[in-house]
Structure 1
């Protein structure tokens, strides 16, 4: 019996999903043609860079020019513009907003279990579910090209990825709400999923990957990223990737910046549940540094903050990352959040089966007098990611299946899983359509990559390698 008679029945939700096929056939997703008035891609990237740290912007372009796949990682704004101009299903869910294959990975749950999930939410917003799937599908095709896969091998990887999403979503459509909410991919699930398909050598590689992820914790970060200076533990410099406060500025400017960061850590704790807030208060800040992260995020303000608890052997590393408007914002309904950091945190908590216990947000005023939003989390907590550049086609297909099923679970938590599953159906029409879309978009991505390279060559923008 339904407690709210206004809620649609499962049958009504399924009819809604099937009805969308009349307006937007599943096969139509194979088509991609840039809008006639599509903005200049370099112009979009340049506008994104306007509010970033000026001396890091060339590093962002340098990283994007390493390969078409690196460019794709940094060009979420371009794909958002392309998808936002196309017809969509109108069935919304919470989107990752940048669901390429490297934005999935391993991390520790609060219960100290190693889980696999979506792990990047800078662009998260509610929107049409298929935008995330298309972002993932195209990333598989582009990564396949980088690895030298033949066209049919790439199509096979994309079809398997999308099929996994479709079949998982159909499975979630038949589950109870609480069962969907509690679903997650732990290490036991990974072994079961891959045991019969990896072979002996592949299973050993998977075991090593899991063991490596468990070793990448706050203690390893403490040993790797810090040094003792005059008897005091400090973050070690590794410019331009890690620049301690003392190397960025001196005197009153450094003291003012340090004061702002202390205030950020203190005030962000108010966004945590009471028990986590109590735990955070048992640590004191001892040092901080600016850190360069990712590809698309390079140039945004990102700080790593070293805190110590009981003694000098009780460290906590936090990462405070600037949160600006999502690249999806121009193409979706207005956000309900006045704070962009809160948008990121709530989107992450909605999509992930388990989130970092120190995940929170705050708004602070910088030494330039400008207010900026930040979200905060632990720097490393059993972090692990795939090395896709070494994957043969069969292994990338397995990885794509894992990402597709994981994305379906994330979407099923917040969207109408029954309507999405009904739209997708039991046949492979959508799978084949996205395999064609992914190849077409990979061509398009390569043209944009060349446009950025040409802009650097002509001196329109400046690029610098790490």
Structure 2
């Protein structure tokens, strides 16, 4: 018979009680909001920083999406079990969504890994839970419902950890959350309709349609249309031909041989900088249009890879190239990854990672989710995160720590509300800094 003393997960409860995971207290070493955001703006494209500030000022939830560094600092001072997984790092509900596998099936999974690094599993779940509280408040839900969203996610996570840690290892790695299966199992008609609409929209998102959407024909050739300040051309392809080819050669060598062969049939037709997201605004994010001999387009997103916000609290990544850190972390966590996922180094030794742009992507329209839809989405994200953590960490030990009772679920809900309150205070401080002229804003 296994006793508590023989169970490593239960033994950890003596040092880190599950109820303690619900506590939140600011460290006395916490920098000011002004200091943190100013540091995060360092080395970004100067002209784009006001757009970043503007997007972050929209709401506390938008502010939260742009400040993973603030929460990473705060979490590092809180109790945790020392059990590490391949953490997403910026694990909020907008960093999950649908996309096509190489087999062209639509699946739901985590889809943003800019901050990924081995780190305590609690950091991901607490950031995800807080995002649900903020999203519920943003959608004007009752406070009790907002907290329940975090609890629902934590319940799904705990049950997922228990289930997946008992699965055959290969079956777990093959497992995918296919959107057609989610549709078949959905009981709520509103959720069924949303899934059907999302699938239909995704099926229509093809490279050919993207070509006509964001390009224009110039003397028989396609080029990406400028839309200042959100899309513009920062380089001259003719004058910087050698640099572009060198960048592409480096990238090609990070792909599997078959994918390298596929890529070799395309040439770069145009490259433009494209502002994306909230937290990424100001980093060097580009869109590359490649064409083959049949005039078929391939769009690649080329995204600057900076040091993870977690690294200051976990130790340096084993990868010297941040693009490789992101790519390898993504491959570990996702059930299936884009065949063009790779990395490269550009001018000034800046590091980048590459992937297809909008490959049948489904982005959650969270601002229009009602209580039932957001709760279902919380459960789905919780299970996806659980699978990721069992794949890359000690799932059985985490499961025994969590146990079968709702103690940890309630603690996560309590923490999420407390941290959402703190985020709203930080947001107000941010708005005051804008009003005082400390940060410039520009719509975009």
TM (normalized to structure 1)?
A: 0.92
Would you say 1:435 and 2:413 are equivalent positions?
yes
Counterpart of 1:463 in structure 2 is 441
Question: Partners of 2:6 and 2:241 in 1: how far apart?
Answer: 55
Counterpart of 1:117 in structure 2 is 109
Question: Partners of 2:305 and 2:330 in 1: how far apart?
Answer: 13
* 1:455 positional shift: 1.0
Please list the CA deviations of residues 308-334 of structure 1 after superposition, one character each: whole Å capped at 9, or x if unmatched: 11322x110011100010000000022
Counterpart of 1:383 in structure 2 is 361
* 1:255 positional shift: 4.0
SS of residue paired to 1:354: coil
Would you say 1:75 and 2:67 are equivalent positions?
yes
Please list the CA deviations of residues 352-386 of structure 1 after superposition, one character each: whole Å capped at 9, or x if unmatched: 0000000001112x2xxx21110000011110011
**2:133–2:420 contact (8 Å) kept in structure 1:** yes
User: How does 1:413-452 map onto structure 2 within 5 Å?
Assistant: 413-452=391-430
Residue of 443, 446, 454 corresponding to 2:432: 454
Q: CA RMSD in A?
A: 1.7
Please list the CA deviations of residues 390-416 of structure 1 after superposition, one character each: whole Å capped at 9, or x if unmatched: 111111000000111011111111111
Would you say 1:396 and 2:379 are equivalent positions?
no
Higher mean alpha-carbon deviation, 33-42 vs 293-302, is at: 33-42
Pair 14,384 (structure 1): closer, same or farther in 2 beyond 3 Å: farther
Would you say 1:306 and 2:296 are equivalent positions?
no
* 1:42 positional shift: 2.1
**2:117–2:329 contact (8 Å) kept in structure 1:** yes
Counterpart of 2:220 in structure 1 is 231
Question: Partners of 2:342 and 2:122 in 1: how far apart?
Answer: 28
Pair 235,34 (structure 1): closer, same or farther in 2 beyond 3 Å: same
**2:20–2:79 contact (8 Å) kept in structure 1:** no
Residue of 233, 256, 266 corresponding to 1:283: 266
Would you say 1:63 and 2:55 are equivalent positions?
yes
Counterpart of 1:318 in structure 2 is 300
Would you say 1:296 and 2:288 are equivalent positions?
no
* 1:460 positional shift: 1.3
What 5-or-longer segments of structure 1 have no aligned partner?
Answer: 1-9
Question: Partners of 2:315 and 2:6 in 1: how far apart?
Answer: 24
Please list the CA deviations of residues 153-193 of structure 1 after superposition, one character each: whole Å capped at 9, or x if unmatched: 11221111110011011001111111111111002321244
* 1:242 positional shift: 1.1
Counterpart of 2:318 in structure 1 is 336
Higher mean alpha-carbon deviation, 447-456 vs 103-112, is at: 447-456
SS of residue paired to 2:340: coil
Question: Partners of 1:298 and 1:221 in 2: how far apart?
Answer: 22
User: How does 1:32-71 map onto structure 2 within 5 Å?
Assistant: 32-71=24-63
Question: Partners of 1:12 and 1:427 in 2: how far apart?
Answer: 15
* 1:256 positional shift: 4.3
What 5-or-longer segments of structure 2 have no aligned partner?
Answer: none
SS of residue paired to 1:271: coil
* 1:232 positional shift: 1.3
**1:14–1:419 contact (8 Å) kept in structure 2:** no
**1:268–1:360 contact (8 Å) kept in structure 2:** yes
Point out 4+ residue stretches in structure 1 off by more than 6 angstroms.
Answer: 10-14
TM (normalized to structure 2)?
A: 0.97
Please list the CA deviations of residues 259-286 of structure 1 after superposition, one character each: whole Å capped at 9, or x if unmatched: 4233212220100010000000010111
**2:106–2:180 contact (8 Å) kept in structure 1:** no
Counterpart of 2:139 in structure 1 is 147
Pair 11,320 (structure 1): closer, same or farther in 2 beyond 3 Å: farther
